Amino acid sequence: MTMFDDRRQRPDETPLRDAMRDLLRDAQRPSMWETEDDSRLFIRDLMQEAIEKQGITPEQLAQKADVPLEAINAFLAGRGDLSDSDPLTKIERALRVNLSGW
């Protein structure tokens, strides 16, 4: 045994320890507790921040990302279509921001 061996020092499994393990496991998968509306608002906020930092307009973003302006405006309004990942991927590349990593 090394001086760092803690096999005999570990507490037995308890309900509190089980609950903490479950909580940490679920925290690594936020999709379990986020709704689609939460995701849309998260994307909206990240897009607005990135657009402001880069100093571009939604029209310029639409041209740069090769995405219809209606899709850009929908995401900026918090109503974007999350079922089609293509526009979101193009917007991420154009803004150089991870919008789908929630």
- Whole-model pTM? 0.65
- Across the chain, which distance is largest between two alpha carbons, in Å? 65
Residue-level pLDDT at 36: 84
Q: Which residue has the tokens 């020092």?
A: 9
The span from the CA of 88 to the CA of 81, in Å, is 9
The span from the CA of 95 to the CA of 15, in Å, is 45
Dump pLDDT digits (tens) for 32-60: 556 888 889 999 999 999 999 999 999 99
Q: Is the pLDDT of residue 75 over 80?
A: yes
Please return the burial class of 18, using the count of CB atoms within 10 Å of its CB with bins 0-12, 13-18 and 19+: exposed
